[in-house]
Amino acid sequence: MIASNFYELFRKAAFHFDPELVHNAALFFLANFPQTMAQLFGRAIDDPQFITQSADGKLNWRFPIGVAAGLDKDAVALDYFDAIGFGAVEVGTVTPLPQVGNDRPRIFRHPGEQSLRNSMGFPSEGMEAVYQRVAKYNGRAALGVNIGKNKNTPIPEAFNDYLLLYKKFAPVADYIVVNLSSPNTQGLRKLQSGEYLDNLLKSLAGHKDREKTPIFIKISPDLSLEEVDHIAQRVLDFALEGIIATNTTIDHSYKIGGMSGKYLYEKSKIIRHHLLAKYGGESKMAIIGAGGFSSFADCVEFWKEGGKFIQLYTSFIYQGPPLIAAIAKELRGLKFGN
């Protein structure tokens, strides 16, 4: 209760300022005072029954809730997210070369819908800087690295960026996420289909045979189910581990950016439900749920459909660390497939 009150006071004050300014300031404190921040704002209880494993045994989280990419793009606060009990921390999106991303302002709050809209455009300190941090990480939370192409890399050559990043991070990551679905990098979503998709997955699959680090494809919620099926089939064809469903949506009335949070939940849920029903069997692929989860009830619905792994982003901004603590408290005693 005390931690919840602390976070509510912080959020009310913080929401008077620019979202990106607040985000960067928060990361500074989380990076430099991880244990203090964990004690102040709360953490999840630790329980062996929370350990969650994919059917193929390649993905192991100590807790079925992880941090989605975007919260810690440059891997500066890994120790904090580990300290508060997340099952996994996914950093990125990381690009090969440093880049500043799109012009500011590029994060917009929609508090009435408990949602965010961003047009970040993959701001990144670059592969080398992020690698130096993740290579030193030794926490209990699984480490995911979300990778993307540089803005100036032509789409036909994008597979080279992804392959370079996979080769760099595969030795130090527990899993790699191939981001093909951000709406904020021009042309990126073209990589979700046709020859572009095949060339990319073929190049990654060839190297995965050597590195063995699991690969997940992060997809858009704005795809048709036929398009989702095509990607899922190619994931199976190239023996990749699974799909993250989903990224942000451009199905809104604003001029720019992708929406996340509660606004996204129902749209993203359609994709997740379809994937779990058709491809989520023991012999097929792992589906990581992302997009609008904001309560224990949302998580339970996903678990009952056969999902196991969930990622939080926007709800963590609105509700803070008390959310993961509350989910852990309610999860204790609940039986679901591990």
Q: What is the pLDDT of residues 131-185, one digit of tens each?
A: 999 999 999 999 999 999 999 999 999 999 999 999 999 999 999 999 998 888 8
How many domains does the structure of the chain reveal?
Answer: 1
Q: For 187, what's the count of Cα atoms within 13 Å in the CB-facing half-sphere?
A: 11
Please compute the mean of the pLDDT values over residues 254-260 and round it to a whole number: 93
Is the residue at 108 inside a domain?
yes
Is the residue at 206 inside a domain?
yes
Is the residue at 135 inside a domain?
yes
Is the residue at 338 inside a domain?
no
> The CATH number of the domain where 73 resides is what?
3.20.20.70
Tell the residue number behind the tokens 């692929």, with chain if given: 285
Q: Is the pLDDT of residue 335 over 80?
A: no
Contact 131, 92 (CB under 8 A): no
Contacts (Cβ under 8 Å, ≥6 apart) of 309: 52, 54, 59, 61, 64, 66, 87, 88, 286, 287, 288, 289
Is the residue at 53 inside a domain?
yes
Please compute the mean of the pLDDT values over residues 15-34 and round it to a whole number: 96
Tell me the pTM.
0.95
283 pairs with which residues across the strands?
none
Instruction: Find the domain containing 291 and state its range.
Output: 2-331
Q: Which two tokens stand for residue 310?
A: 């969930």
Q: Is the pLDDT of residue 286 over 90?
A: yes
List of long-range contacts for 188-196, beta carbons under 8 Å, 24+ apart: 188/148, 188/149, 188/155, 188/158, 189/220, 190/155, 191/155, 191/158, 192/219, 192/220, 192/223, 192/227, 192/231, 193/227, 193/230, 193/231, 196/155, 196/156, 196/158, 196/159
Q: Is 283 a known active-site residue?
A: no
Looking at residue 4, its pLDDT comes to 67
Looking at residue 338, its pLDDT comes to 45
Contact 250, 224 (CB under 8 A): no
Is the residue at 303 inside a domain?
yes
The single residue of 182, 220, 294, 315 carrying the catalytic annotation is 182
| Of the candidates 317, 304, 330, 286, the residue with the CA atom closest to the CA atom of residue 55 | 286
Is the residue at 337 inside a domain?
no
Q: Is the pLDDT of residue 336 over 70?
A: no
Is the residue at 9 inside a domain?
yes
H or E element that contains 31:
helix 19-32
